[in-house]
């Protein structure tokens, strides 16, 4: 049996997709989507690397010492929301993906700066 929370998220996702005006991704949009996913993954990786070296998470949504699963879950949710926004509003899809890319790269760069500053 599916957990109630998962079921609600699934229903909301289907409702949102049902009202979207589908347009296939252009080649450029596909590149930006890949860049956004990579940037968000870099944020997850540098966050976990820093946590294992004694640093603390600054994002209050995640808490000071989030698990890998929680970090991936929040990032997957944010990527999913941005993706859905692009499905609902295809004319702005590329800019949504670009914002998502910067939203992953900036924290990853900051994490790396903090890791280097702390040293081993």
23-47 pLDDT tens trace: 899 999 999 999 999 999 999 999 9
Q: Where are the alpha helices (DSSP H) in the chain?
A: 4-18, 27-51, 68-88, 93-118
18 DSSP assignment: H
Is pTM beyond 0.75? Reply is yes
12-18 mean pLDDT? 61
Structure confidence by residue, pLDDT tens digits, 41-93? 999 999 999 999 999 999 898 889 999 999 999 999 999 999 999 999 999 99
| pLDDT at residue 23 in the model | 82
CA distance 104 to 95: 14
Residue 9 has pLDDT above 80, yes or no: no
Cβ-based neighbours of 23, under 8 Å, separated by 6 or more = 90
Residue 120 has pLDDT above 80, yes or no: no
Contact 114, 43 (CB under 8 A): no
| pLDDT at residue 11 in the model | 66
Model confidence band, residue 119 (pLDDT cutoffs 50, 70, 90): confident
């Amino acid at each position: 049996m599916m957990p109630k929370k998962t079921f609600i998220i699934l229903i909301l996702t289907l409702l949102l997709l049902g009202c979207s005006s589908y347009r296939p991704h252009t080649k450029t949009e596909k590149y930006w989507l890949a860049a956004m996913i990579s940037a968000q993954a870099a944020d997850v990786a540098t966050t976990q690397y820093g946590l294992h070296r004694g640093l603390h998470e600054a994002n209050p949504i995640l808490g000071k010492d989030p698990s890998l699963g929680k970090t991936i879950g929040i990032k997957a949710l944010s990527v999913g929301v941005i993706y859905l926004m692009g499905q609902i509003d295809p004319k702005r899809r590329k800019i949504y993906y670009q914002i998502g890319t910067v939203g992953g790269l900036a924290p990853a760069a900051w994490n790396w700066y903090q890791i280097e500053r702390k040293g081993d």
